[in-house]
Structure 1
Amino acid sequence: MTTLTVSQVNRYIKSILDENEPLRRVYVVGEISNFKHHIPSGHMYFTLKDSSSQLKCVMFSYSNTHLKFKPEDGMSVICFGNISAFEREGTYQLYVTSMQPNGVGSLSVAFEQLKDKLDKKGYFRQENKKPIPKYPNRIGVITSNSGAAVEDIKNVISRRYPLAEINIIPTSVQGADSADDIALSIAFADRLNFDVLIVGRGGGSIEDLWSFNTEIVAQAVYDCNTPIISAVGHETDFTICDFVSDLRAPTPSAAAELATVDIKDEFVYIDKMYSAITKRFESKVQKEELRLDTIKKHSPLADIDKIFDTHYEKIKTVKEKLVS
């Protein structure tokens, strides 16, 4: 009779599982439970379950670092990885290398998770919004220096309100480090005494726009003392940056319009006001002239000449009598 140690048995079972081709690359769908994110190591431990069974899972830090969403208990997910044994404890588990929400994209889940988190913190409240100045002297623009958005913004502002000074802060708006770059540009611009900032970029896929859906950018927008107009993508695109900013514009060109008044309209308004003031002044003068005429006609001094002549004649008569 062959006698095996516990370690030998577990090692043998592990080898069987590791050599089983279908279990080396397997997709498993289930509901997350008992989720734990071990902070010191960064590893994630959880259980996938369905109505009748459960499966232990582990997702090491080097695999979960790039997750766009935060796994939570009760979330239905599809995990990809390999089934193997954990020799020390004599258990088998799924070693997860990638994970996505079941039935919805991971970016959509991440968006809703962050939106809900910031909403609960009060980042979207209207009372926290700063007013956009009507006549800005200095406008800061945080966007790519090479995209179409920056030219659209410059053209619209120059046409509508040429009195404003436009300052472009070249910023990476797409790619691995773009979220950090956007946040740093916002903090930098906030120290330069701009009257308003426009933060944004042109259109793209949800992946292209994702930097504006990150918490680091949302925090930078919220902490900024300078009013911010968010202008990310097209009219149908909504980002976390839009919700946190003081004003959301559907496009970069629209942001330039919201940041400025049309100087032609202002001249028309000035002309109208001048005409109205002139008419009121002329009307007032006419009324005062009529009032003065009325006073002159009904004043006791209106017939002063006649009164003087009458008294003069009386004095003259008395004088003649005295002389005679």
Structure 2
Amino acid sequence: MTTEQSYLTVTALTKYIARKFSADPHLTKLLVRGELSNITFHSSGHIYCTLKDQGAQIRAVMFARQAQHVQFRLEEGMQVLIEGSVQVFERMGQYQLYIERIEPDGIGSLYLKFEQLKQDLAKEGLFEERWKMPLPPYPKKIAIVTAKTGAAIRDMYTTIRRRYPLVELTLYEALVQGEKAAPSIVRAIERANEGEYDVLIVGRGGGSIEDLWAFNEEQVARAIFESRIPVISAVGHETDTTIADFVADLRAPTPTAAAELAVPSQLELQERVKQQQWSLTQLLRHQLERAKKRYEYAVQSPVFQRVERLYEPQIERHLHAERALQQTMRNALTEKERQLWNVTHALSSQTPKHKLIEARHLHTSVAERLQRAIATQQEQKQEQLLHQIRLLQTLNPLSILERGFSVTYEEENVVTTIEQLTIDHEVKIQLKDGVAKAVVTDVQKEEL
């Protein structure tokens, strides 16, 4: 009968299986070929995927420490060769493949990385012809980005000095091989762009694809593309092709060829100058011969046989023009005299003396009208005054006194009714020639 102690825990079973996997030499270091799928790039740098073929599949993981050395981009459906080990992931109870190294199946990783980057940059348009800058025909200053030592710089210096010694050369030293080569080349290109150069040559001598790999790096390609100086790519031998060749303004098969493309040949220029001198000499000789023939023909012309024929028409035109000018001047003078008379006549009526005479006449006329108006006004006012005097005399109370009437006052008030009188009160009586005082003794009211 089985006891309780005979049962294994899940953890114990899983650890037992894991030890079995670890003890098997065929699982601790193995080579596997398969197809990638379900690729996941974790933010930590780890890569998770599935490796499969027609009959089976296995989960796989590549940690960031190993993933940073992968030279190409992992893609869905890619056939790969993997070196690694199979171990048990105890927490999930699953076995999986731990990838130590991965290579594309059938082609090298560097070549695959080269093709992938080439496709990416081509999609962005970095290789398009519209971005290519032309090289100046006669450069004054050339910058070179390459190693300080080596055959490449010697060949370029020798070739340029031989072909076109007028140009000024400046070397911007850079590493051209190894892990630090790409950043070094980028810095050198950027420093060169801070100066005033007509052409920039970037390159190195030949070598393997690993030796030339710095010129396949994306950062180098973008530095060349962003250069404001026209760039000649001069990497390796004629059969070597790099990303720098595609993005540069001009690709040279070798550093020596780049030097030849950058500058003209002084021998060719001298030959061209000689050819132009000969052409100019022939042209001048031909023109002189034509001019000589025209001169001889002109000398034999009837016009030169009687020279006065040349200037007689001119004399006639001169005389005609002179007469026309004199008539025009006389007409103009007459018109100006007429205008002057009109202006003088107009101004004479505007002189101060004339204005003073007019003002005096106006003053006299106004004074006479004013005197007549004053006399008329005085007569009207006198008539109105006499009328008012007669009216006042008619309305004057004293005039009534002349006819025997009188006016009675009581305390300065005119008495018009007996109701104003009081017995034994004193009243004043206004007569024609004076005032009398009386005392009221009796009042009798008449019935109307």
TM beyond 0.5 = yes
Q: Does 1:8 align with 2:7?
A: no
- Measure, in 2, the Cα distance between the counterparts of 1:230 and 1:214: 14
Which protein has greater RCO, CA pairs closer than 8 Å, 6+ apart?
1
Partner in structure 2 of residue 36 of structure 1: 40
Which of residues 21, 27, 43 in structure 1 aligns to 2:25? 21
Higher helix share: 2
Partner in structure 1 of residue 98 of structure 2: 95
Name the SS of the counterpart of 2:50 in structure 1. strand
Q: What is the CA distance between 1:304 and its match in structure 2?
A: 5.0
- Measure, in 1, the Cα distance between the counterparts of 2:166 and 2:144: 16
Q: What is the CA distance between 1:225 and its match in structure 2?
A: 1.0
- Which AA in structure 2 matches 1:106? S
Give deviations 1:148-207, integer Å, cap 9, x for gaps.
Answer: 100000000000000011111111000111011111111111111111111111111111
Name the SS of the counterpart of 2:300 in structure 1. helix
Partner in structure 1 of residue 439 of structure 2: none
Which of residues 112, 115, 119 in structure 1 aligns to 2:118? 115
- Measure, in 2, the Cα distance between the counterparts of 1:19 and 1:299: 125
Q: What is the CA distance between 1:292 and its match in structure 2?
A: 2.2
Deviates more, 1:276-285 or 1:250-259: 276-285
CA contact (8 A) 2:298 2:304 kept: no
Name the SS of the counterpart of 1:28 in structure 2. strand
- Which AA in structure 1 matches 2:39? F
Partner in structure 2 of residue 259 of structure 1: 262
Partner in structure 2 of residue 271 of structure 1: 274
Aligned pairs for 1:33-182 (under 5 A) are 33-38=37-42, 40-182=43-185
Aligned pairs for 1:173-212 (under 5 A) are 173-212=176-215
Q: Does 1:285 align with 2:285?
A: no
Partner in structure 1 of residue 303 of structure 2: 300
- Measure, in 1, the Cα distance between the counterparts of 2:137 and 2:89: 66
- Measure, in 1, the Cα distance between the counterparts of 2:190 and 2:15: 55
- Which AA in structure 1 matches 2:124? K
Q: What is the CA distance between 1:18 and its match in structure 2?
A: 1.6
Q: What is the CA distance between 1:6 and its match in structure 2?
A: 2.9
Give deviations 1:225-269, integer Å, cap 9, x for gaps.
Answer: 111111111111000111111111111101000101001110111
Q: What is the CA distance between 1:7 and its match in structure 2?
A: 2.8
Which of residues 237, 241, 249 in structure 1 aligns to 2:240? 237
What's the TM-score, normalizing by structure 2? 0.66
Q: Does 1:217 align with 2:220?
A: yes
- Measure, in 2, the Cα distance between the counterparts of 1:65 and 1:3: 45
Name the SS of the counterpart of 1:267 in structure 2. helix
Give deviations 1:98-128, integer Å, cap 9, x for gaps.
Answer: 0001111111111111111111111111111
Q: Percent identity?
A: 43
Q: What is the CA distance between 1:296 and its match in structure 2?
A: 2.3
Deviates more, 1:278-287 or 1:193-202: 278-287
Partner in structure 2 of residue 319 of structure 1: none
- Which AA in structure 1 matches 2:167? A
CA gap of 1:244–1:304, structure 2 versus 1, over 3 A, is closer
Name the SS of the counterpart of 1:141 in structure 2. strand
Unaligned 5+ residue runs, structure 2? 309-448
Q: What is the CA distance between 1:132 and its match in structure 2?
A: 1.2
Name the SS of the counterpart of 2:59 in structure 1. strand
- Measure, in 2, the Cα distance between the counterparts of 1:35 and 1:100: 15
Partner in structure 1 of residue 368 of structure 2: none
Rg comparison, structure with higher value: 2
- Measure, in 2, the Cα distance between the counterparts of 1:9 and 1:269: 91
Unaligned 5+ residue runs, structure 1? 306-324
- Measure, in 2, the Cα distance between the counterparts of 1:243 and 1:304: 75
- Measure, in 1, the Cα distance between the counterparts of 2:158 and 2:165: 10
Give deviations 1:48-82, integer Å, cap 9, x for gaps.
Answer: 10001001110011001111111111110011111
CA contact (8 A) 2:234 2:252 kept: yes
- Measure, in 1, the Cα distance between the counterparts of 2:11 and 2:72: 38
- Which AA in structure 1 matches 2:288? V
- Which AA in structure 2 matches 1:55? I
Name the SS of the counterpart of 1:231 in structure 2. strand
- Measure, in 2, the Cα distance between the counterparts of 1:151 and 1:259: 15
What's the TM-score, normalizing by structure 1? 0.91
Give deviations 1:271-314, integer Å, cap 9, x for gaps.
Answer: 11112112212211221221122122123241459xxxxxxxxx
